[in-house]
Structure 1
Amino acid sequence: MGNVKLTGRIVVPGDSDYELAREEFNTRYDLYPCVIVFCEETCDVVNAVKWAKEKCVPFRIRTGRHSYEAYSSLDDGLVIDISEMKSFRVSKDKKLISVQAGALLLPLYTELYKRGVTIPGGTCPSVGLAGLSLGGGWGMLTRQYGMLCDTLLALEMVTADGTVVYASEKKNSDLFWACRGGGGNNFGIVTKFLFRAIPVNKVSIFKIVWDWKGFKQVVDAFQNWAPFTDKKLTGILDIYTKEIGELKSLGEYLGPEEKLRKLLKPLIESYPAKEVVIQEVPYIDAVRIFGGLMPGMEEYDIGHGDPDAHPFKNTGAFANELLPSAGIKILKHFLANSPSVENKVQLQALAGNVMKQSPADTAYVHRKALFSLLYITKWQEKEEARKNVKWVERMRDELLPFAEGAYVNFHDNCIENWLEQAYGSNLPRLREIKTKYDPENVFTFPLGIPPL
């Protein structure tokens, strides 16, 4: 192979920017790579893979640093960071978006909006495009446009031997299938995506807040409404701890405010609300609001650290049927007995055009789910970690009769049968494709797909 050299912006221990370069979004983890290479071109990625193989150095791939278990970094290894590869191009007819895989969501949304288009991606401003897309990609436009991977048309990838390959429905179609829900770090390093563009201008959004006393009525009303309402409407329900004492639903509708008011009627009438806000706004303002920012606020700049980085343990599951009273009771019990006031559960509406494809059409298998559940715990002090992790895992376990499966982008190393939960009936085919493109398991991490 020869004496391959790393190219790009290289950071090593002792450099002034090493501490910032090694930081993860989940500050529960404190990892010390021996080298971090910020790739600027595809050739830098090729050189990084070849260098790691030649030196027998373990490596991980990183974009937005949002891996729940910090699998995008490691101790004493190489981190191949593609976050500086973020250029994009919108076709003249505004039907296609070509974008480098290192783009972060908010800056990308902002620039695309100036051209009147978007992609149906996630909400967190600093999430990386690559990990989100490869795991499926849920967001506030999901019920109308499907998962983000459903708008993916082609990609460029660096494989285990350092070769640059292209994948689409017509070329390397097996790899393309696997990359639509098979997760990052499994088959290679994606360096560029081609998406179908979504035209945007104004959208209607809502916020409804209820008191804790309406817990059962609100949860039941949301689950009976959110997966079945107009497909142009995607909603979430945040269920806070008893100490906070609130439930809050947010959502986005691709239509006028008056129509949204009518669609929300079943939810608003389920239990007397403390607050109801319904408004029509520019699409980019909705992006900022759902990302926890106010319109006009400065954009996130991960180059100066992520302001939302914190210690946490999240996990999740999918509900293919409505939660019965027993399931809602379990939710209420855990949120009434939470070790941290900041803990919560979020229900994310699915169905709609997510169901347009069958579970076998792409690697993303959870096509029949009505909604997903994200179980969230975060804390301030290190000594609080153990009881909060135990709390969130026990809640997931007790709700398994009503919600199972695992979302690839919600990595959880406490799920023993992770591969089966994440990939279901698609796992055998994914392992075959892994064996074809990475037989030596060069791209590996604790919850990765193994070759046969």
Structure 2
Amino acid sequence: MNIQQIHNNLFSPRPKSIFLCTTSEEILSYINNKEIINNGFTIRGGGHNHESYCVQDGKSVIDISGLKTYTKNKEGKSITVGAGLTNLEIIYLQSKNNPDTIFSTGECVGVGTAGYTLGGGWHLLCRQNGLSADSVKSIKIIRYSKSSGKFIEDIITKGSKQKTEIIINGENVRKGKLFEIILGSGGGNFGIVTEITYKTYNLPNMYDVEMTCEYASDKKKELIDDITKWLEHQKTDKTFTSIVRLVKFGDKIKIRILARVPEFKIKESQRIFLEMEFMKNFGKYSMSKFSPYGIGELSEYKEYVSNSDDEITRTASTQLRLNFDALKKMYEKIKENAKTKGIDSYLGSPFYYELSHQQDSNITDNSSNYSCRTPRKHKVTSAFVKKTADLNSVITQVADYFFTNNSNRNTYSICTFHAVGGKAGSGKTSYAFNENDFLLQIQSWLPENFNDKNTENNMVDWVNKFREQLMKTNLLEGAFINFLNDKIPVQDYYKNYEELKMYKLEIDPYHMIDSSPLSKK
């Protein structure tokens, strides 16, 4: 268990110091000193930054994973959560306090809610409800104030006309505009988000419809036609969200289509599946009622935090507080481990440490598993399918590369089409691809504790060359900031790149916050 570790073991950063905090006051008292302001810092929540921007060599780290507050607001129509909570922890708290509503949570439940939301936040209801960033009503953020010469905490509300001391093009920036700049631009750009208020939605009557099959090399054309048929259907019908995923390990390739559909669309989805010749003959079909607070999720939560219910208590203000004594003992081990590596660590009081930094001993290294909850070596990249692109051509190009080029037999390689469009990106944010219908994600993972430098390099090259080849076809554009890849030009993530750089320079004039591609000089 390493205090400096992130969820990508390709990196072994050695930060100068790490501050584990539980309140905004602790953060402000720590960062408002000359040393931090002069040397700069990074911000870590869930630690799922694919390129280790959240923890860097020689930098101080502000670890916000101890900010674990939860409040159900009036009539349950919104919730206010601490930025240190993970998606799964909020699901758990919702199930206990507000089970008749849902919030826009991600499919990777171990991810920290702040970074997930600030980058946009894709999920399987995004076409119906919008991305996670679209559901945000307000944020609390610790940002630098040029007028006072120190960091302050500010509440930024969607649509607010209140003016700030920040001046752009000779005018004081409205808080509503600052909200639009921050949301969708990625985590760690303009300050330390400490709290987020989300709009909640009534629990929908939805079903998860799924089709899986194994790839047969002599049926490549039929499979491409089937995937094209499904994505064409998704392109025209925005009432539901789906993913199409190709998975490869060694000689095995599997195809999975998962759709979260309203009840009145089930028969139509079944009809499309039955029209797919390859999937119909070789695939397995299943359907289940969508239940975000089901027994499976709660059991997974207990396993995830490695605590039983009697070790989890809530204060009268509905704050989540993990067992202090157990965490205190864990911290001592972490601190000792850090000390042997020459890393200073600071303890906030009281102290709650994010248990997701532990290895999950129950996840094995077999060929069918990878997990965003378990630190493993991996590489990720992305691009959006152009609105005008011919889908059959896109899928053919993807399939040709995916089926014929393998990074290594030991890697677990994945290619996923995420449906976007609909209400995804409907809010005014820096997420720029609201007109696109599909987001393509390419990733490759190594088994846990796998150490071979040649295999690692091959894995990274495979992912980067995959995107490089696809971009040459002129069928794709841009990239998704939540699927960060350092080989992608920073401007590809945004359509308002020059505006973001201008705001970054004004809000962070001394280059103190160094947690994102926008921080590159």
Q: Same fold (TM over 0.5)?
A: yes
Are positions 1:128 and 2:112 aligned together?
yes
5 Å-filtered alignment, 1:167-246, equals 167-168=156-157, 169-170=159-160, 171=162, 172-200=175-203, 203-212=206-215, 213=219, 214-231=222-239, 233-241=240-248, 243-246=251-254
Structure 2's unaligned 5+ residue stretches are 145-149, 163-174, 306-354, 361-372
Q: Helix, strand or coil: the match of 1:191?
A: strand
Q: Which structure has the bigger radius of gyration?
A: 2
Deviation at 1:450, TM superposition (A): 6.2
Query: What is the aligned counterpart of 1:387 among 458, 464, 469?
Result: 458
Deviations 1:401-427 (A, max 9, x none): 111201111111112x22x20112x12
Deviations 1:25-77 (A, max 9, x none): 00111112232111100011212322474573332100010001011101222
Q: Does the 8 Å contact 2:226/2:276 carry over to 1?
A: yes
Q: Does the 8 Å contact 1:340/1:377 carry over to 2?
A: no
Partner residue in 2 for 1:137: 121
Query: What is the aligned counterpart of 1:372 among 439, 444, 447?
Result: 439
State TM-score, norm by structure 1: 0.86
5 Å-filtered alignment, 1:261-276, equals 261-271=267-277, 272=280, 273-276=282-285
Deviation at 1:432, TM superposition (A): 2.6
5 Å-filtered alignment, 1:40-439, equals 40-51=22-33, 53-54=35-36, 56-114=38-96, 115-116=98-99, 117-160=101-144, 161-168=150-157, 169-170=159-160, 171=162, 172-200=175-203, 203-212=206-215, 213=219, 214-231=222-239, 233-241=240-248, 243-253=251-261, 255-256=262-263, 259-271=265-277, 272=280, 273-285=282-294, 288=297, 298-300=303-305, 301-305=355-359, 308-321=374-387, 322-336=389-403, 337-341=405-409, 342-354=412-424, 356=426, 361-379=428-446, 380-383=450-453, 384-400=455-471, 401-415=474-488, 417-418=489-490, 420-424=491-495, 426-439=496-509
Change (3 A) 1:252 1:446: closer
Q: Name the amino acid aligned to 1:435.
A: L
Deviations 1:114-145 (A, max 9, x none): 31222112111210111011111111110101
Change (3 A) 1:78 1:398: same
Deviations 1:343-363 (A, max 9, x none): 110110011112645xxx321
Deviations 1:252-300 (A, max 9, x none): 23x33x6423334213422324200012142224984xxxx98787235
**Cα distance in 2 for residues equivalent to 1:328 and 1:52:** 54
Q: Name the amino acid aligned to 1:309.
A: P
**Cα distance in 1 for residues equivalent to 2:37 and 2:433:** 39
Q: Does the 8 Å contact 2:513/2:519 carry over to 1?
A: no
Change (3 A) 1:77 1:190: same
**Cα distance in 2 for residues equivalent to 1:221 and 1:23:** 43
Structure 1's unaligned 5+ residue stretches are 1-18
**Cα distance in 1 for residues equivalent to 2:77 and 2:34:** 38
State TM-score, norm by structure 2: 0.75
**Cα distance in 2 for residues equivalent to 1:370 and 1:286:** 33
Higher relative contact order (CA 8 A, sep 6+): 2
**Cα distance in 1 for residues equivalent to 2:295 and 2:457:** 36
Count residues with an aligned counterpart: 420
